[in-house]
Amino acid sequence: MEIKSSILERQYRKYASEYQKAAIEVLESGWYVLGKYCKKFEHEFAAYIGSRYCIGVNSGQDALTLAIRALGIGLGDEVIVPANTYIATVLGITENGATPVFVEPDEYYNLDVSKIEASITPRTKAIMAVHLYGQAANMAQIKEIAERYHLYLLEDCAQSHGAAYDGQMTGTFGIAGCFSFYPTKNLGAFGDAGAVVTDDKELAEKIQMLRNYGSRKKYYNEITGVNSRLDEMQAAFLTIKLSHLDELTQEHLSIAKYYDTHLLNPCIIKPSIRCGSTHVYHQYVIRCHQRNKLQKYLLENSIQTQIHYPVPPHLAECYESLGYHKGDFPVTEQYADEVLSLPLYIGMTIDELDYTINTINKFMME
């Protein structure tokens, strides 16, 4: 049996007739950018998250970049960010000329709140919380710190569509929540797409201008903007998938629970959930002290896995100028050496799960 890490076409087939109908409607409408389908999705996604405004953009990274830019964060400013996040989170900061200040993660792979305050300086302008792998970060304490130091609180929700902390949806705790709708996400488009949610009217209007060349009215440019617009086709697809998101989330949770129950190999560290947080399992991430050997063993048995992520941003070649070295963030670096994302996708069968689990349970470390 061959097991892939992800099979997107099964999710497509689940609602294929709805997607096909939407595609024809968009094509026949004759309007393909910033039209009624984008407005409909923005309205429905804002309502789902519990925000007043949603601004559709071209990608999750653009959501981060434009939210930071709209807040006036730039050269000379610092943004606190988890050291173990995906590079896009950091790129959203540096694209604006600001400096990322890395903080180690906790046992749940999110910001360790006990280490945030030591990283705050007079140049700190914001804290970027990342709900990595789909589990909500410790937002009560992060928000309290942000408010006490008068810092913006931003959320990278690229992997946490539908996750909550203390019953409140991720993306609604700070000034803005930034979402990716990349095809592999729990709420994924059929191409690149993203959005920013906020309750701040002024911020929403500024991001709306920034995404469209800096204009409210065509050819009248008030500020220097970019071209980052959620197109009508992706918006139509996302509206359909959003209507099924709770069902899709339950399937993710069922697969994760099956892994939790049946993975019995003592070499494996399974994910745990913080009290008060919910997890939507964008990824089911285990750890193993001999991760590379485990991954090789699984591939030899036709099971494909992924590493999220093998190189922490502070050690990325593109950020050599920041002056970090191996050993600067030992927890992050340990996670990078040990994490492994197991196959998890909509339509995954019990036979596929059993084969994956039984193979892992037979793995032996040296």
Portion of the chain with pLDDT greater than 70, in percent: 100
Answer yes or no: is pLDDT of 68 > 90: yes
Q: What is the pLDDT of residues 291-349, one digit of tens each?
A: 999 999 999 999 999 999 999 999 999 999 999 999 999 999 999 999 999 999 999 99
Answer yes or no: is pLDDT of 124 > 90: yes
State pTM to two decimals: 0.97
Q: What is the pLDDT of residues 246-286, one digit of tens each?
A: 999 999 999 999 999 999 999 999 999 999 999 999 999 99
pLDDT at 366: 62
Mean pLDDT of the chain: 97
Answer yes or no: is pLDDT of 70 > 90: yes
The residues spanned by each domain of the chain are 8-243, 245-361
Residue 32 in tokens: 């393909």
CA quadruple 110, 113, 114, 119: dihedral positive or negative?
A: positive
Backbone angles phi, psi at 142, to 5 degrees: -65, -45
Q: Are 128 and 111 in contact (CB under 8 A)?
A: no
Cα separation of 242 and 283, whole Å?
A: 19
Q: What is the mean pLDDT of residues 195-218?
A: 97
Cα separation of 235 and 269, whole Å?
A: 38
Local structure of 215: helix, strand or coil:
strand
Topology of domain 8-243, CATH: Aspartate Aminotransferase; domain 2 (3.40.640)
pLDDT at 139: 98
Answer yes or no: is pLDDT of 61 > 80: yes
Answer yes or no: is pLDDT of 361 > 80: yes
pLDDT at 365: 78
Q: What is the mean pLDDT of residues 137-151?
A: 98
Identify whether 133 is preceded by a cis peptide bond (ω within 30 of 0): no
Cα separation of 313 and 315, whole Å?
A: 5
Answer yes or no: is pLDDT of 50 > 90: yes
Residue 159, H or E segment: none
Nearest C-alpha neighbor of 245 from the set 1, 63, 14, 88: 14
Residue 46 in tokens: 């804002």
Q: What is the mean pLDDT of residues 89-107?
A: 98
List the helix and strand counts (H, then E) for the chain: 12, 13
Q: What is the pLDDT of residues 234-247, one digit of tens each?
A: 999 999 999 999 99
Per CATH, the homologous superfamily of domain 245-361 is Aspartate Aminotransferase, domain 1 (3.90.1150.10)
Across the chain, where does the E strand assignment appear?
53-57, 78-82, 99-103, 124-130, 152-156, 164-165, 168-169, 176-180, 194-198, 215-217, 220-221, 284-287, 339-342
Say how many C-beta atoms besides its own lie within 10 A of residue 298's C-beta: 20
